[in-house]
Amino acid sequence: MSLRRFLGTSTFRLALLYAALFSLSVAALSGVFYWTTSVALEQERRETVFAEAEALVEQYRLLGPRGLSAAIRERIRPERVGDGIYLLVDGNYTPISGNLAGWPVLQSEADGWYEFDVERRGPGEDETVLGARAIHVALAGGLHLLVGQDLAAEEHLQAAILRAGLWVMAVTIALGLGVGFLMSRRLLGRIESINRATARIRAGEVRHRMPVENSGDEFDRLAQNLNSMLDEIERLMGGIRAVTDNIAHDLRSPLTRLKNELELALAGADRDPRTAIERAIAEADGLIKTFNALLAIADAEAGSGRADRAPVDLARLVADVAELYAPLSEERGLKLTAEVETPATIEGDRQLLFQALANLVENAIKYAAEGGAIALTLEGPAASPSLVVADRGPGIPEAAREAAMERFVRLDPSRSTPGSGLGLPLVKAIADMHGAAFVLEDNRPGLVARVTFAPPPV
């Protein structure tokens, strides 16, 4: 990646923002440290000067002017290192003792402190001290005492703190930019790997997946979610291909028969053209039924029936379906029974539920052995009822039950039995639309189809 492109990335801008925030934080902390240090130094200076002034005044009270002068000379001896300022003058401000050349020009402050520039007299040459601060004490006998400290050491310490803060800020900015650069390169590398994988998939490598580093971070979770989505898309595409193949296989035969019947009717080869036309109409009805089933599944999966929901009496529904299919079951030599253990009412689309239950009964009649029995039951608690259709036919192997609910799946490989493989998928779609669970169970022998409705929300 070029430098210009890298500098324009959101990760680099984010790293730059973090570096700026860190720098501001360091600047704020340095400012607070500088301010608290200055306040502490000033407080210490005030306490020291007041203590010195009280001690010297006590010396004057006990020992007089000579004792005070001796105490000041003791404090300004060359071997004693310090920043104290002492000056004792008479009534005419003539120096008696101290380390100032003369009485300075004092500028009064509000708190009684005086600030001035002085030349402090030492063992060698006089030196200029800027920003000295002191207090003035008027003594008995017309004497004046000036006690204070110069600010040189304090200013040097503050300057050192300021320089240290600037260095810390510079190092923080450098480290922030450096770490941000490395983190940006790392993040960009992960993003680029996902982009490359996406490009390969878009180019036709549909089985390629996003790289996962097993670090458990957000990028790994994103890659895993994308891989799961791609797996689902691949599964759906495979299902679409299978459905397309099944449609082509299931519709080709009836369309061919329809074409042949029409050609026979047109050529007059059949003794009774009406018979050929009736056969063609039957084939057309079968095709229409197949497409209607597909549309019904699509409508159920889209939830188009949700707006038509109303209270549905499941006991009445069971009775109506049993009454409708009783003649057909008797014609096939089957015994159809209907039983309601507990009456129940749910919110739903009665027409779709009737169609789903009718499909299950039709399947049971189609596959049940002659002389067998079919039981249509409403069971379970009223809050979570189940519609159950049980037969004594060949049943469905457990391994094939999930596949039997997919569109156009026929468990008869030869497809010799009538049907389109859309009955159970339609039932599943209607059950899903009503928030119900549709399962197939073993009746030993035979099959149990169960639709169980979830309890209503509290």
Burial 138-163 (b: 16+ CB within 10 A, else e): eeeeebbbbbbbbbbebeeeeeeeee
Query: In the CATH hierarchy, which fold is given to the domain comprising 219-301?
Result: Helix Hairpins (1.10.287)
Tokens of 147: 């006690």
Q: Return the CATH number of 11-157, one of 3.30.70, 3.30.450, 1.20.1250, 1.20.120.
A: 3.30.450
- On the question of pLDDT at 417 being above 60, the answer is no
Rounded CA-CA distance 47/248 in Å is 102
The model's pTM is 0.46
In the block, residue with structure tokens 């922030």: 176
In this predicted structure, what is the pLDDT of residue 420?
Answer: 57
Give me the percent of the chain exceeding a pLDDT of 70.
Answer: 81
- On the question of pLDDT at 346 being above 80, the answer is yes
Query: What is the average per-residue pLDDT within 121-129?
Result: 52
In this predicted structure, what is the pLDDT of residue 305?
Answer: 47
- Which range has highest mean pLDDT (291-300, 396-405, 431-440)? 431-440
Rounded CA-CA distance 169/164 in Å is 9
In this predicted structure, what is the pLDDT of residue 413?
Answer: 47
Rounded CA-CA distance 448/440 in Å is 6
Residue intervals in the chain for CATH 3.30.565.10:
305-453
Higher-pLDDT residue of 430, 268: 430
pLDDT tier, 355 (very low <50, low <70, confident <90, very high otherwise): confident
Higher-pLDDT residue of 138, 109: 138
> Which residue type is seen at 66?
R
In this predicted structure, what is the pLDDT of residue 298?
Answer: 63
CATH no. of 305-453:
3.30.565.10
In this predicted structure, what is the pLDDT of residue 394?
Answer: 82
Higher-pLDDT residue of 316, 372: 316
In this predicted structure, what is the pLDDT of residue 317?
Answer: 92
Residue pLDDT, tens place only, 76-120: 887 776 778 889 998 888 999 888 888 888 776 657 788 887 765
- On the question of pLDDT at 220 being above 60, the answer is yes
Residue intervals in the chain for CATH 3.30.450:
11-157
Rounded CA-CA distance 94/143 in Å is 10
Q: What are phi and psi of 218, to 5 degrees?
A: -65, -35
Rounded CA-CA distance 443/449 in Å is 9
- Residues 6 or more apart whose CB falls under 8 angstroms from that of 20 comprise 176
In this predicted structure, what is the pLDDT of residue 415?
Answer: 45
Tokens of 356: 């789903």
Give me the percent of the chain exceeding a pLDDT of 90.
Answer: 7
Residue intervals in the chain for CATH 1.10.287:
219-301
Mean pLDDT score of the chain? 79
In this predicted structure, what is the pLDDT of residue 388?
Answer: 92
Beta-strand relationship, 114-120 and 144-149 = unpaired
- Which range has highest mean pLDDT (185-189, 210-214, 251-255)? 210-214
Rounded CA-CA distance 43/41 in Å is 5
How far does the chain reach from its first CA to its final CA, in angstroms? Answer: 57
pLDDT tier, 416 (very low <50, low <70, confident <90, very high otherwise): very low
In this predicted structure, what is the pLDDT of residue 179?
Answer: 75
Query: What is the average per-residue pLDDT within 350-376?
Result: 85
- On the question of pLDDT at 171 being above 70, the answer is yes
Tokens of 66: 């000579």
264-278, 291-305, 429-443: the lowest-pLDDT one: 291-305
Query: What is the average per-residue pLDDT within 316-321?
Result: 92
In this predicted structure, what is the pLDDT of residue 412?
Answer: 52
In this predicted structure, what is the pLDDT of residue 299?
Answer: 64
